[in-house]
Amino acid sequence: MIETKDLSKRYPGGHQALKNVSLSIQEGEMVFLTGHSGAGKSTLMKLIGGIERSTSGSVAINGTKLSSLNRSALPYLRRNFGFVFQDHKLLIDRSVFHNVALPLLISGLSKSEITTRVRAALDKVGLLEKGSFNPVTLSGGEQQRLCIARAVVNKPAILLADEPTGNLDPGYAADIVTMFRAFNRVGVTVVIATHDPAMIQGLGARIIELKQGELQA
């Protein structure tokens, strides 16, 4: 489903974030990307999600090379992904409901369909009662769950989570991991970038390790 070949990324200023990374992730698989800070995990996630462009090499999603897509086609590709960020990236001037509704509004769904699906997503993460709240009034764990609700509301085929438990206490972190596991069980391909060993233990998922931008055997 996801295939990278000799993928490299050099940022302006000369920092080499990724060096010749080649990997393959199957459909319905759950994978952990590990490595220390600065290992290139976030960069790899951005390149897979089509948020950034690689310097060399290629990323293919279901056989389609991202570099072969033109600018106007990329947004439609991104709709196949659900993104979860460590810093949540929530809109603080909108309610919880409207944060989750954003991907559906972008996809052009009707108001009634948006309402139904947003309520279902909020219910799944346990925030149904807080739809009218402002995100800043939520706890860290709730904000992360809100971010997950927004990521899954569009029923994506691939879930990309970048340090999703980074700022959470162990209890909340375990909840989040359970949630990802549940999504994976229903067929969603899940890629989680983390440097937290506790998160990986006991899940039996494949682990891909990055070190200074290079894939470790």
Partner 1 sequence: MNWFYSRSSAFSDSVCRLLKQPVTSILHILGMGIALSIPMGCYMLLDGADQFSRKLNNTSQLNVFIAADSSDKTIKLAEKQLTELFDGEITFIDQDDGLKQLSKNSEFSELVKNLDTNPIPHLFVLTPLDSDAKKLTDVAQTIENWSFVEEVSFDAKWALKLESFVNLSKILVMMVVLLIGLGFVASIFTNIQLQITIRKDEIEIARIVGATGRFIRRPFLYYGFIQGLLGGLCAALIIFFSVKFGLNAIQPMLEPLGFYIRDPDLVTLSSPLLFSVALSLLGAWLSSNNHLKKIDY
| Number of Cβ atoms within 10 Å of the Cβ of 76 | 11
Q: Of the candidates 12, 14, 63, 108, which one interacts with partner 1 according to CB under 8 A?
A: 108
Q: Which of residues 65-104 bind partner 1 (CB under 8 A)?
A: 71-72, 74-79, 83, 89, 91, 102-103
Q: Which of residues 8-27 bind partner 1 (CB under 8 A)?
A: none
Q: Which of residues 146-175 bind partner 1 (CB under 8 A)?
A: 150, 154
Q: How far is the CB of 98 from partner 1 (least distance, A)?
A: 9
Q: How far is the CB of 172 from partner 1 (least distance, A)?
A: 22
CA 130, 99, 169: angle at the middle one, nearest 5?
65
Burial degree of 72 (CB within 10 A; 0-12, 13-18, 19+): exposed
- Report in angstroms the alpha-carbon separations of 145 from 23, 138, 164, 211: 29, 10, 9, 29
> Could you tell me how many residues of this chain bind partner 1 (CB under 8 A)?
26
Q: Of the candidates 15, 36, 65, 111, which one interacts with partner 1 according to CB under 8 A?
A: 111
Q: Which of residues 39-58 bind partner 1 (CB under 8 A)?
A: 49, 51-53
Q: Of the candidates 22, 24, 106, 182, which one interacts with partner 1 according to CB under 8 A?
A: 106
Cα 31 vs. chain centroid, distance in angstroms? 12
Phi/psi at 61 (5° precision): -115, 120
Phi/psi at 63 (5° precision): 85, -5
Footprint of partner 1 (CB under 8 A): 49, 51-53, 71-72, 74-79, 83, 89, 91, 102-103, 105-111, 150, 154
